[in-house]
Amino acid sequence: MINASRRNFLRGLAGAATLGAGGCFSITPGADGKKIRLAAVGIMGKGFSDWFPMIASGKAELVALCDADAGMLKKAQVQLAKKNYSLDLSKLPFYTDYRKLLDNCGALGVQAMTISTPDHVHAAVAVQAMKMGIHVYVQKPLVRTLWELDYFNKTAREYGVVVQMGNQGSSLNSMRRCTEVIQSGILGDVKEVHVWTNRPVWPQGKAVADWVKGHPKGDRMRPGLDWNAWLATAKNRPFLDQYPKDAPVYDPWNLGKNVYHAFTWRGFFDFGCGAFGDMACHTMNLAFRGLELADVSDAERTMIESENDVAYPLKSVVKLTYKARASKVRPGVKLPAVTLTWYDGDMKPDAAIMPKWAATHDGKVPNTGCYIIGSKGAVLMQDDYGAKCAIALEADKKFVDVFEHEAAKAVARSIPFRSDSAAGDGKSSVAMSGFAEGHYIEFLDAINGIGPKYSQTHSRCFSDIEYCIPQMEGILVGCIAQQVPGKLVWNSASQRFEGSDAANALVQPYIREGFAF
């Protein structure tokens, strides 16, 4: 699968710069007070909200852009004007094919990269960038398949680069505080978690599969779209433009006029990870961190609606089991195995499992959230990102905000907040006013060697590989469970499912000729 000649070429580019351990590009970005030289792959949507805070912070300068759709360059310029930010993007190198950008990264002096493409391109870009010693900020989900996850992990460790996954809620004070409270053991033994989302809000399901199969000739190509580069590693297929207004596809938020590009790719098996991959990196975040979850042992779908072989289902319920483990936060404490139930398609757990909440909220469950049930109490996250977290212990009559609950307030602080002066480790660190912008600045600070090293990630990024690799493993096992019936037993050491050829066939991605990495 690995294109050895291309890998050697990339190593050669790295070798043209100062060499460090392992022969990788090892200059110390920012150590001399200069801005980090940043390239952006995927420049609108999440792409813009990833790279713009970095340059707005004054800590990074944009030196190259890449997007398979050349029309996005003009849109990004308009967006900059709305932000009253002066930068002429037309003067920067622009590429529609990420391979050409990678070929020129050495000459451009690229030190860091944002990767905000469709999911199937994340690993292909990031792995090659990391082999050049380039630090990567990769939008969630980190990768699309389990094979790519293992490859990403090994590459990041070999080349010693800074990695941050784009689950921005990780840098919210509320998320970090609630994580501390749960890690304290205040809930007692936790064996049950429920996580749910209103996604998908884009077309997927059988109607989408039927539409694609019914239009094998494709549509006229949109001007400026490099379809070959957009497909990248995926199997070749004709471009499909937009659904007609009367197409019978699920589109509750009126977001799905496009078949593939832009945004609606995420419902397809070949390009995205559906609702699970889109939202679990956010909504499972609190449970994964707070309960110190690690190894997923098995997964089983218990409900599926609109199953097909092209796109993710409209609704599903999947149960994941995480193994018992030793606490790293409380030495000597053994944490029990956890069953985590995932619901998507606007499905929710029954309000009966959260009686104290239901009693004071007209029996209604939040539209999206995470409910963590312990032997001594429960925590309810009432949004996607961990901005609203409440706790109720055995003696409590109702849930109270985690910052206001008396027992929770007694839990000692252990995770630095981005708003703390300690976040800069005594040095200047930019304070950003927008939602979770500290997540981006943390990435840049880590490159510059600023900020605390988090004990759980052993790095200065709170969503580095120590965290995001095991979290993504469970999510990707869950994505395969949505496609393969029955209980799937996963062996992380061998990177295989036990006794399921159908599941094992989905571990490794298809990689089109010319796009090996």
pLDDT grade for 33, boundaries at 50, 70 and 90:
low
Query: Over the stretch 162-209, which tens digit does the pLDDT of each residue have?
Result: 999 999 999 999 999 999 999 999 999 999 999 999 999 999 999 999
What's the CA gap between 262 and 69, in Å, rounded? 9
**Segment 138-165 mean pLDDT:** 98
Domain limits, the chain:
171-200+274-420+473-504
Q: What's the pLDDT score for residue 428?
A: 34
pLDDT at 420: 74
345-350 long-range Cβ contacts below 8 angstroms, 24+ apart:
345/199, 345/200, 345/275, 345/305, 345/313, 345/314, 345/315, 345/316, 346/197, 346/198, 346/315, 347/196, 347/303, 347/315, 347/316, 347/317, 348/196, 349/194, 349/196
Q: What is the per-residue pLDDT for 511?
A: 98
Predicted local distance difference test score (pLDDT) of residue 159: 98
pLDDT of 286-338, one tens digit each?
999 999 999 999 999 999 999 999 999 999 999 999 999 999 999 999 999 99
- Other CB atoms within 10 Å distance of the CB of residue 213: 11
Under 8 Å between Cβ of 509 and 120? yes
Q: Does domain 171-200+274-420+473-504 have CATH number 3.90.1150.10?
A: no
Query: What per-residue confidence (pLDDT) applies to 7?
Result: 42
Cα separation, 462 vs 358, in Å, equals: 33
